[in-house]
A and B are shown apart, each in its own frame.
Chain A
Amino acid sequence: MKSIFPALIAAAITLLPNSALPNTQIEPSAFTAKSGEKLWNQTQTISGQVRSCASCHTSDPRQAGKHIRTGKPIKPMAPSANAERFVDPKKVSKWFKRNCKWTLGRECSEQEKADITSYLKSI
């Protein structure tokens, strides 16, 4: 019984409707785009350094950015300025993981990722 219990819970979660699970299937809207813009420019101090998305990507995601440490140019993040963005889901999740950890000191929630994505797609 003990060993079957986690499996039962997993099965129960799988059977739940999507709406019962937080942070999935978030529809892009003006509201999430607005939150995304706020998060984009929000600064936090991590390891003694003031950081935000804009540190490397500038406060206008339609502009090219520059890696804050190495100076390597970064192409614009807004798909309106760079059609390569948000094409490869694997790439998107990789960079969210790396860059959320650097910028916020933790991984982003699904809500935050949806907010940022909607913001970048809205401009």
Chain B
Amino acid sequence: MKTLIFSTAAVALVGTLGLGIQGAWSDDDDHSFSTAKWNKMKARSTGVAAVTNALYTEECGSCHFAYPPGLLPASSWQKVMAGLADHFGDNAELDANEQQQLTEYLTNNAADTSSYRRSRKIMNSLQNTNTPSPLRITEIPYFRHEHREIPKRIINLPEVGGNLSQCNSCHQHAEKGSFNEDEISIKGFGRWKD
């Protein structure tokens, strides 16, 4: 009897371990740490979630860089989407159905719902400020801090356009949600190191 109990426990233990190991190492391929997984982890720890919505890319990205939703809190996106008839001086009106779809996409993927590092930094920097729901990404304290050392003469280069609104003028992989410093190459200027 004793032996039976013991062997049952042993089988159970091995089974659990086996399952555990299988669980930990089961992956889409044979490597325990695939390149894809590594890249995903790296993106999460450094960037914001990339844009995945085709309607957003089409409707918003036709006129400007399609800002990843994780760059603003949901309350900001709601304000932006409620004022499309005067969108920073442009008319960007959508039909009701598309407006609703895009508002949902933006608020569901906003900075306050994202675990990506830069989204968290953005939310932290907006805490205890007078403008917790800014309309512009360039007004976020974290954004201003990160760009504080860039001289006016660089910002005023025609290729940059006089403001910091077009992320991809300098961040070569901005479209993938990646804003690493070593990926910066300023159009009309070159590599940037601070």
A binding-site residues for B, Cβ under 8 Å? 47, 67, 69-72, 94, 97-99, 101-102
Q: Determine which of A47, A71, A72, A98 lies in contact with B92 in the assembled complex, contact meaning CB atoms within 8 Å.
A: A98
Report chain A residues within 8 Å CB of B63: 67, 70, 72
A7 to B127 alpha-carbon distance, docked (Å): 56
B166 touches A70 (CB 8 A): yes
B64 touches A102 (CB 8 A): no
Q: A70-B65, A72-B64 are in contact. Are A102 and B91 (CB under 8 A)?
A: yes
Report chain B residues within 8 Å CB of A69: 88-90
Question: Once A and B bind, how many residue pairs between them come within 8 Å at the CB atom?
Answer: 33
B binding-site residues for A, Cβ under 8 Å? 62-65, 85, 88-95, 161, 165-166
Q: How far is the CB of B183 from chain A (nearest CB, A)?
A: 20
Q: How far is the CB of B158 from chain A (nearest CB, A)?
A: 9
Q: How far is the CB of A77 from chain B (nearest CB, A)?
A: 13
Q: How far is the CB of B64 from chain A (nearest CB, A)?
A: 4
A72 to B65 alpha-carbon distance, docked (Å): 8
Main secondary structure of the interface of B (DSSP, over half): loop
A69 to B93 alpha-carbon distance, docked (Å): 17
Report chain A residues within 8 Å CB of B62: 72
Which residue on B lies nearest to A107, using beta carbons? Answer: B91
Report chain A residues within 8 Å CB of B161: 70-71
A99 to B90 alpha-carbon distance, docked (Å): 9
B90 touches A102 (CB 8 A): yes
Report chain B residues within 8 Å CB of A71: 161, 166
B91 touches A98 (CB 8 A): yes
Report chain A residues within 8 Å CB of B85: 101
A102 to B63 alpha-carbon distance, docked (Å): 13
Which residue on B lies nearest to A49, using beta carbons? Answer: B89
A97 touches B65 (CB 8 A): no
A47 to B89 alpha-carbon distance, docked (Å): 9
B91 touches A70 (CB 8 A): no
A49 to B65 alpha-carbon distance, docked (Å): 23
Report chain A residues within 8 Å CB of B65: 70, 72
Q: How far is the CB of B76 from chain A (nearest CB, A)?
A: 19
A99 touches B91 (CB 8 A): yes
A70 touches B89 (CB 8 A): no
Which residue on A lies nearest to B58, using beta carbons? Answer: A91
